[in-house]
Structure 1
């Protein structure tokens, strides 16, 4: 190999996670500036908007757990299978525990949340998510579930630097800014790097499209809660 050849870095040397995050950085910036998120920090978020979020998140997490379980079934190593299985259990636990606590504080119950209608954005997001993990490759599914991990971790980390005057909102912020959750996300991001390194450019590009799509759904999910979205007909 000549000096000129060795001096040219391979495009594959760049971690896949950097390529993924660069593609959604404007979406993440829009999320941080959304009135739902800023309202969590300054305490101005209407409780009805937060209740809508909690109810829809309860619906979302049940399907997200299914998506994680299927990612585990397609995962490349035994450790990855076990990790996704644990994350699926964790998603259900979050729905049962944290959301029950929130609903109680909001004057409702987990049973009421379960009976509430699934809103349009929630239905669209979970339908896309499940279709991708069922019908696509492991990398496709991983890319589709990753924004929920990664964006929540980044949002939690950013908001934890401030303190909400509302104890309920501070509880939500602390859950996602917590170091144990950050460690889980680092593990999944590292798996995306490993899986992306082994993929072809076409496979990487297709997975990136899924990643960007579900990142957009993350913004839409908070926006739907802010507007307390219902079916128009």
Structure 2
């Protein structure tokens, strides 16, 4: 169970379903390489390039979830988060790109890799075709796993200034507050769901958590289309 969650809450039950995946993420050589400074520049540049592609569709998925929210306050929250993807996270990439010898034109010309394409397609399909609960569950791992990873990596630190900058952005209080908003909504929504609806949403949550591991792994391998 996630250590900050009420054991009776929906978020606690969701986290329990992905805890092994989270452990695998935290011990992946991409992340251990960030903290010990051994991660290859090329792998990190690959990650940044694909993350720019990913975030554009993630913001679209958040906007769709916002439109389906039954309460106006929740619509406003997800709409704000969608805008912040560009204002905050893409600004981070803007700081990192020159240090990696990249620019936005080069990133736009970088092909979207199989894992990025699969993950974003799944997110958008779930947000469009699923219920509000399913859409929320699908976008939640990106929030929650990054917050937990950021906190864990912040404790480890990194000898590389670029990697510390990335870690600081996800391990900070501002991002933690954003994630707390979504978890509060998650736990309000959980008790209103039927058993079948909860199971359907949980299934999407588990899948996108696995995609988070795959995204780090694809960057580490510098994944390309095989043909």
TM-score (norm 2): 0.95
CA–CA distance in structure 1, aligned partners of residues 11 and 176 of structure 2: 15
Q: Which has the larger radius of gyration?
A: 1
**Structure 1: 4+ residue segments shifted above 4 A:** none
What residue number does 1:178 align with? 172
CA–CA distance in structure 2, aligned partners of residues 95 and 169 of structure 1: 14
CA–CA distance in structure 2, aligned partners of residues 209 and 93 of structure 1: 31
Q: Which runs of 5+ in 1 are unaligned?
A: 1-12
CA–CA distance in structure 1, aligned partners of residues 22 and 137 of structure 2: 16
1:109-128 equivalences in 2 (<5 Å): 109-128=103-122
RMSD of Structure 2 on Structure 1 (CA): 1.0
The question of whether the paired residues in 2 share the 8 Å contact of 1:71 and 1:133 is answered with yes
- Give CA deviations for 1:152-178 in whole Å, capped at 9, x if unaligned: 000001111121000000000000001
CA–CA distance in structure 2, aligned partners of residues 83 and 178 of structure 1: 19
CA–CA distance in structure 1, aligned partners of residues 90 and 222 of structure 2: 22
CA–CA distance in structure 1, aligned partners of residues 221 and 137 of structure 2: 28
What residue number does 2:29 align with? 35
The question of whether the paired residues in 2 share the 8 Å contact of 1:99 and 1:110 is answered with no
Matched, 1:103 2:100: no
CA–CA distance in structure 2, aligned partners of residues 74 and 22 of structure 1: 26
Q: Which runs of 5+ in 2 are unaligned?
A: 1-6
CA–CA distance in structure 1, aligned partners of residues 169 and 85 of structure 2: 13
CA–CA distance in structure 1, aligned partners of residues 139 and 21 of structure 2: 16
1:1-233 equivalences in 2 (<5 Å): 14-233=8-227
Deviates more, 1:143-152 or 1:187-196: 187-196
Task: After TM superposition, give the deviation of residue 93 of structure 1 in Å.
Answer: 2.1
The question of whether the paired residues in 2 share the 8 Å contact of 1:67 and 1:129 is answered with yes
TM-score (norm 1): 0.93
